[in-house]
């Protein structure tokens, strides 16, 4: 009788050990074998990274909305003009934040429609058409899906997975969304250092052109003007330009031009303008842009 009781106890212990083992495997499988980040995941991740930045304005040196409401209203209106032309306009919470850094000329995007721009970049720009062009260009990386990715995640999401997922697994993104991971600080800054392949850069330029000349009749030369002015300055202080530097032009994994240079990018803008853009106003809202930039510290 005692032996039979012990036998039953062993079976009970074995049952619970087996149950624990399979439940652990099931949790691992969730992260290891289901790595796709859906549009909702990307939106949640972007919202959380955005919250981390807002809750830590000292660490990220943010221009606070409460102190500059009129300036942010102006940026929000510009962002809305871009947002309406995106594929994910109804799926993301599009938003913009300003980092106070006059020494950095940079703009970058986070998953889920979050765009960050530095005061250095804002003061570098010379008109509303350049601002819209830049915002549309960056929006492309979170709005468009990676053509080489069977899971069809956004370009920036795949970049983040390459950087963080290879070390931590997809679980790190879930942890950040659930406010349980310190990696959120690194992710919030990651976009500022992402290098984009030329085929993505060309696609981003095309979106900015469509926003400017097909929909709002601004001058379509915003990106081209930014490139040309950047070439006159110190590249080491122009992070945005460095992150879009020339490299092999790839389409559907085929190298089209291994000596791709800035002339190809400029020619693409000029050709698009000739084929698709009608009359436009080069000086549209230049003074309005200057009046808002004067509000910055």
pLDDT of residue 30: 30
Distance CA 282, CA 68 (A): 28
d(CA 2, CA 273): 90
Asked if residue 98 lies in contact with residue 60, where contact means CB atoms within 8 angstroms, the answer is: no
Q: Cβ(136)–Cβ(78) under 8 Å?
A: no
Closest CA to 192 of 282, 261, 97: 97
- What pLDDT was estimated at residue 140? 94
Q: Which residues of the chain are under the pLDDT cut of 70? A: 1-36, 146-152, 165-182, 234-237, 245-261, 282, 284
- Specify whether the CB–CB gap between 251 and 189 falls below 8 A: no
Residue 149 counted as domain residue: yes
Predicted pLDDT at 129: 92
User: Number of folded domains in the chain?
Assistant: 1
Does the residue 17 lie in any domain?
Answer: no
Q: Is residue 14 part of a domain?
A: no
Q: Token pair for residue 102?
A: 């006059």
pLDDT of residue 245: 65
Q: Give residue-wise pLDDT tens across range 245-276.
A: 655 544 444 444 444 467 888 888 999 888 88
- Could you give the C-alpha distances from 151 to 24, 37, 191, 261, in angstroms and in order? 25, 8, 21, 31
Q: Are 112 and 97 in contact (CB under 8 A)?
A: no
Are the C-beta atoms of 220 and 272 separated by less than 8 Å?
yes
| Structural domain span for residue 99 | 37-293
In a domain, 16, yes or no: no
User: What confidence score (pLDDT) does residue 32 get?
Assistant: 38
């Amino acid at each position: 009788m005692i032996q039979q009781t012990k036998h039953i106890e062993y079976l009970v212990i074995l049952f619970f050990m087996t149950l624990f083992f399979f439940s652990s495997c099931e949790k691992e499988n969730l992260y290891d074998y289901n790595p796709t980040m859906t549009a909702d995941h990307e939106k949640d991740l972007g919202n959380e990274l955005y919250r981390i930045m807002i809750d830590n304005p000292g660490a990220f040196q943010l221009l606070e909305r409460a102190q500059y409401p009129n300036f942010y209203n102006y940026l929000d209106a510009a962002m809305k003009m871009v947002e309406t032309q995106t594929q994910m306009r109804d799926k993301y919470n599009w938003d913009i934040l300003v980092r106070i850094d006059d020494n950095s000329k940079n703009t970058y995007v986070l998953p889920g429609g979050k765009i960050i721009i530095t005061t250095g970049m804002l003061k570098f720009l010379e008109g509303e058409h350049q601002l819209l062009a830049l915002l549309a260009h960056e929006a492309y990386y979170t709005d468009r899906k990676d053509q080489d990715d069977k899971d069809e995640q956004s370009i920036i999401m795949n970049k983040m997975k390459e950087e963080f997922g290879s070390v931590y697994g997809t679980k790190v993104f879930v942890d950040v969304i659930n406010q349980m991971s310190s990696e959120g600080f690194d992710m919030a800054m990651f976009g500022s250092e992402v290098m984009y392949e030329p085929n993505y850069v060309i696609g981003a330029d095309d979106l900015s052109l469509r926003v400017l000349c097909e929909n709002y009749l601004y001058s379509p030369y915003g990106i081209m003007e930014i490139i040309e002015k950047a070439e006159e300055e110190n590249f080491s202080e122009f992070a945005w330009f460095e992150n879009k530097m020339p490299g092999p032009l790839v389409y559907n994994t085929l190298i089209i031009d291994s000596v791709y240079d800035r002339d190809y990018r400029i020619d693409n803008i000029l050709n698009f303008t000739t084929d698709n853009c009608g009359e436009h106003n080069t000086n549209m809202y230049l003074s309005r842009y200057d009046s808002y930039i004067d509000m910055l510290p």
